[in-house]
Chain A
């Protein structure tokens, strides 16, 4: 099934065009309030867009006759599993088939198959109240799949789970999403890399970047994609061997890819471990020096990640102590031009 979605929702400031090919999994990334959940709600029919169309293959879901949610066959799985508390796990999974008119026994047989598909066969007789968060989410995945949706919508399916159970569920999702048309909203770089064929980055209701997951995360063009990929990004225009931002920052770097001309929109991208931190600006070197103020410090592997607004630097714990870093400390982030990748925005 191919999803074609073009929608504007004025009061949420959303204006999005999204295409998902048959059997493709697209990860929808973006900061909070970017409109990700709004896009899912429009696809599921839970929210009417002000203008736009939603098509699944040849089925027009909006327009003159709006197809109601129950007739769309777009199962939605949210952060919260929302299993019906009065039904057993088995009957929760059988709910979709039952609603489609399948007889009770056949529906339960189908439900059992889906429960074992997600590794939850032994939970069939349990009530939702007797399940852990991870178990409940597995059952919810089975329930969504048992409804045989043409389009599967996942809204941060693992955000509410204990980190100890997410890897196993991610593996399960990776297996069952294979070949299904799926949109998954996530904040997690692993979800994007392991589950998605393609990522679409939303910001303030617009698509700001899209492409194959590995490519977008390796060469991000939007601040959000850079952040979840763990990279520093300065956006601006290419001028005199550096990317100059509107805020007056200049980052010297090495252009790659199609040649840049003076004034072209470009981004400078560099890894936090390529950044050195100084209390005083170092003079006379081919380095970029950015005057920043430390906003917070956090352990990062055997290093300390020094954050200063949207930029980050990794230093050793020893160096952090020697520099006497604390939130509020003015420092200079310095990075060699050879460590900075520059490409068109």
Chain B
């Protein structure tokens, strides 16, 4: 038997749920079902969706490649100023995305901190698909780091110490003990990062612009359509909701299956 909750909590909880669900209902109600197929399969929509999926997947991979080491260092080492570094690294979490976009522009843009160096090397980042990926990675990375760091702290170091006394080198311990133990945390962190990247708008528009087929992702497309073609915007919104729900559903099922094995 579960302890349950005081009865008076139920009303505000229901209110909160309604507050989240009602807007979704409003979108579903507003969808022009007759033209739905046509609206979401138009050339522009298809391109935007594919671009969004591609860039979000790429930035999720980047988040994993950069975020796993970051989380490991934050959770398992101590150095002076660790707390400061940690809060700075997690800054994009609370930064308005449009500010993030500006910051990226002044870093990788033509006049930016690294822009000139990159230009010499023949690389132009701003207003390219790469810029979309960078913007998404910038805002999504903290989600993965935070989630994984929490898992690492919960898992603790005891298994790792035992593994070391059994003769496992640090790399072996990380690969065979640490990572498998925090795999659920890593997966949910990756899902969060993917979802955040998929919805990314402000930083993308500021840093990458809205070039059809190159940088115009779903959120940008929806925002632009909203003024000229409200029906199209609603249809695409629903599509984005469905994709997001599918991703989260698949990831949680994957996790459940993983737990079932364990």
Contact = CB atoms under 8 A, between A and B. Distances in A.
B170 A86 contact: no
B161 A69 contact: yes
B84 to A, nearest CB: 26
B169 interface: yes
A84 B163 contact: yes
Contacts of B168: 70, 95-96, 99
A86 B166 contact: no
Interface residues of B, number: 20
Interface string A232-254: 00000000000000000000000
Contacts of A96: 166-168
Nearest to B172: A99
B262 A86 contact: yes
Contacts of A71: 167
B187 to A, nearest CB: 14
B262 A70 contact: no
B161 A70 contact: no
B176 to A, nearest CB: 7
A143 interface: yes
A144 B166 CA distance: 7
Contact of A75 (B159, B165, B170, B183): B165
Given A86-B181, A127-B262, A129-B262, A100 B164 contact: no
Provide the main secondary structure of the chain B interface: helix
A96 B169 CA distance: 11
B256 to A, nearest CB: 16
B62 interface: no
B162 A85 contact: no
A85 B173 CA distance: 14
B158 A44 contact: no
B177 interface: yes
Contacts of A86: 180-181, 183, 262
A85 B165 contact: no
A71 to B, nearest CB: 8
A129 B259 CA distance: 12
A73 interface: yes
A195 interface: no
A51 B159 CA distance: 27
A218 interface: no
B162 A76 contact: yes
A71 B172 CA distance: 13
A147 B177 CA distance: 16
Contacts of B161: 46, 69, 76
A70 B159 contact: no
Contacts of A74: 165
Contact of B167 (A70, A84, A85, A153): A70
A328 interface: no
A72 to B, nearest CB: 8
Nearest to B179: A86
Contacts of B176: 84, 95, 98-99
B166 A85 contact: no
Interface residues of A, number: 29
A190 interface: no
Contacts of A99: 163, 166-169, 172, 176
B164 A75 contact: no
Contacts of B173: 70
Interface in B57-113: none
A68 interface: yes
Contacts of B166: 70, 75, 95-96, 99, 143-144, 147
Interface string A53-96: 00000000000000011111111101010101110000000011
Contacts of B167: 70-71, 73, 96, 99-100, 147
A104 to B, nearest CB: 12
A82 B169 contact: no
A87 to B, nearest CB: 8
A96 B176 CA distance: 12
B158 A82 contact: yes
Interface in B92-149: none
A75 B163 CA distance: 9
Nearest to A91: B176
Contacts of A143: 166
A96 B177 CA distance: 12
Contact of B165 (A76, A98, A100, A127): A76
A68 B170 CA distance: 10
Nearest to B161: A46
Contact of A95 (B163, B181, B183): B163
Interface centre among A69, A78, A129 (most CB of B within 10 A): A69
Given A69-B164, A127-B262, 13 more contacts: A46-B161, A46-B164, A68-B164, A70-B167, A70-B170, A75-B166, A82-B159, A84-B163, A84-B177, A86-B183, A95-B176, A143-B166, A147-B167
23 contacts: A46-B164, A68-B164, A70-B164, A70-B165, A70-B166, A70-B169, A70-B170, A76-B161, A82-B158, A82-B159, A84-B163, A84-B180, A85-B262, A86-B180, A86-B183, A95-B166, A95-B168, A95-B176, A96-B166, A99-B169, A143-B166, A144-B166, A147-B167
Listed from nearest, the 9 A-B pairs whose CB atoms lie closest are A99-B168, A69-B164, A96-B166, A76-B165, A86-B180, A147-B166, A99-B167, A70-B164, A82-B162
